[in-house]
Amino acid sequence: MTATDTTTAAARFLADAAKRGVTLDSYNRYVLPDPGTGKDRAWTRATTWAGAVKETFALDRWSRRMEAHGFAMRADLLATVAADVSSYGPGNFTERDCSRLDEAITQAQGHAGSTVAATFGTVMHRFTELLDESGEMPETVPAPLDRDLAAYRATMTAHGFESVAIERIVCVPDLGVAGTLDRVLSRGGAYIGDLKTGANLGYSWGEIAIQLALYAHAAFIWNGDGWDPMGPVDQERAVVMHLPIGSGDCTLYWVDIAAGWDVATTLCGPVRAWRTRRDLATRIKLSPPSPPVLGSPERAASADDPAPDVSPSPPTSAGRVAQTRSEWVSARLAALAANPRARSLVGLRWPADTRPQPPWPDETIDQLATMLDGVEDEVQATWSTPDPRDAQNAAPEAPESPPERRSDVPAWDVPDDGQIVPDDDVKALSAVLAFLDEAQQERLLGWAQDATRVGRPFAGRTLTRRMLTCAHAAFALAAQLPGNDQVRIALEQVVGPLDAAWTVGAVIGSLSVEQAETIIDAWNNGDSS
């Protein structure tokens, strides 16, 4: 079988896998229902989770060598790189310019044979599946895979292992992880089994132990239409069937997955969260000199000056402070609502026996505020408004005065009848938001935060019919239009000219039901003009 024939066979096998009906998102993650809520969600792959502590030194060196071999064999690819260097200068490549280089590197690696082993591995997985499903050797197995498959069959028979589940998707809801196990093996007990076809597994055992531990601790297994409870399997050790392509030899290994599970639960999650931190460095700004003391422009303040009177004004009533703090927590929740990871973390960490709607007592607000601090740190969200209780204790309360119309929100009054929509409608909207890509979600989150800051929110646990319609309009705009400039143009067609001081979020939060439905109808009809 030639390389081209093998590639074609692999494509057929991959197409067969796609027929299982499992949807993948743009990051190649499974999109499957949450066993608890029944709503579709994207699951982090088990291999991605295990890859948080992956040893890449040897793999990187091998990859660079394959690139070098490929460029030496393909003068046209080397010329492509030379042309880019001449155009932009050495090392001066932007993201816009890297597509040609990336394609050249991929072709160079492929020409040097970097994809051959992966293709043969995919084909061998399929052949072993056919063998284990039917109990019979496939009729046409090309060399050298025929010797490998015979070795696999003889070794599994000699060791008394039988496959009782083949290529099944499983999930670990507590970690948000899903993956496809190769086998569940039976020999006096049940064990996770995994087929490896690479020549050398020396640098991979740590990652393998984590991956198989995740499969062994899965709570559910996918049946094609829904989740079934995962049957018990050994959680101390698993089996790796090492079948190097072309060797005609199969070796079985016990793998310590108890150690793998310890790393999966204590190290992989924090490492993944650490890699996404973007708040570790801040620019140092020059501070202006301290101003002189009022009334004495000739000198600065000294230690002998009397202390200023900073005694607080009498506090407001406890009930009013609690209400204000409840609104403060609600606004923080609304600002996080468009971020799927934030929603998941809030759901996992919500204090037990705490009602989802305000108002809350001070003790509960303290718990929720601490929880939100942690979530905002993990998803790199910022919330600048301080705790109203701290602000009330730190400064005198200004006398009440008639509110002035803000210049940073639309000038019209927002018609809202206050009709609260059912929780199921809000949950349905949250599920839909998960289908936006990362950039679209970031834009939508920014709009929601802007709207909440100016008092025109359209996100949160409790929404009116108008607010929910505005949220659907925001989803339509984020999904269809590539930038804020185009969004502002679309909004102007509905509400008229926009003041430069009005943010997109403030305008969306100020839409009437009829205006928001006009935007939704335009999106449904494919009109993005």
Each residue's pLDDT tens digit, 152-208: 999 999 999 999 999 999 999 999 999 999 999 999 999 999 999 988 887 789 999
pLDDT, one tens digit per residue, over 435-449 is 788 888 888 888 999
User: Is pLDDT at 331 greater than 90 in this prediction?
Assistant: no
User: Is pLDDT at 101 greater than 50 in this prediction?
Assistant: yes
Tell me the pLDDT band of 4, cut-offs 50, 70 and 90: very low
pLDDT for 161: 96
pLDDT for 56: 54
Give the Cα separation of 463 and 469 in Å (integer). 9
CB atoms closer than 10 angstroms to residue 45: 20
**What is the pLDDT averaged over residues 51-56?**
70
- Map residue 407 onto helix, strand or coil: coil
pLDDT for 20: 56
Structural domains of the chain in order of their starting residue, each with its CATH number: 3-53+117-271 (3.90.320), 57-89+97-115 (no CATH), 318-386+414-524 (no CATH)
Which of residues 182 and 299 earns the better pLDDT score?
Answer: 182
Lowest mean pLDDT among 51-60, 139-148, 248-257: 51-60
pLDDT for 64: 67
Bond into 173 cis (ω within 30): no
Bond into 359 cis (ω within 30): yes
**What is the pLDDT averaged over residues 372-393?**
79
pLDDT for 335: 82
Tell me the pLDDT band of 500, cut-offs 50, 70 and 90: confident
pLDDT, one tens digit per residue, over 465-479 is 889 899 999 988 988
- The candidate with the shortest Cα–Cα distance to 279, out of 378, 375, 374, is 378
Entry pTM: 0.47
Which of residues 60 and 429 earns the better pLDDT score?
Answer: 429
User: Is pLDDT at 287 greater than 80 in this prediction?
Assistant: no
pLDDT for 301: 41
pLDDT for 6: 37
> What mean pLDDT is reported for the chain?
78
Which of residues 235 and 1 earns the better pLDDT score?
Answer: 235
DSSP assignment of 180-241: EEEEEEESSSEEEEEEE--S--TTTHHHHHHHHHHHHT-SEEE-SSSEEEPPP--SSEEEEE
Strand-pairing partners, residue 254, are: 239
**What is the pLDDT averaged over residues 394-419?**
64
Tell me the pLDDT band of 109, cut-offs 50, 70 and 90: low
pLDDT for 304: 45
Tell me the pLDDT band of 42, cut-offs 50, 70 and 90: very high
Strand-pairing partners, residue 183, are: 166, 193
User: Is pLDDT at 332 greater than 70 in this prediction?
Assistant: yes
Give the Cα separation of 216 and 264 in Å (integer). 12
Give the amino acid at 248. G
Which of residues 62 and 27 earns the better pLDDT score?
Answer: 27
User: Is pLDDT at 375 greater than 50 in this prediction?
Assistant: yes
Asked if residues 529 and 520 have their Cβ atoms less than 8 Å apart, the reply is no
Two tokens, residue 466: 């108008």
Residue 135 exposure: Cα atoms within 13 Å on the Cβ side: 2
pLDDT for 176: 93
| Proportion of the chain above pLDDT 90, given as a percent | 25
Two tokens, residue 387: 């705790």
DSSP assignment of 465-512: HHHHHHHHHHHHHHHH-SSHHHHHHHHHHHH----TTS-HHHHHHT--
pLDDT for 400: 52
| Proportion of the chain above pLDDT 70, given as a percent | 75
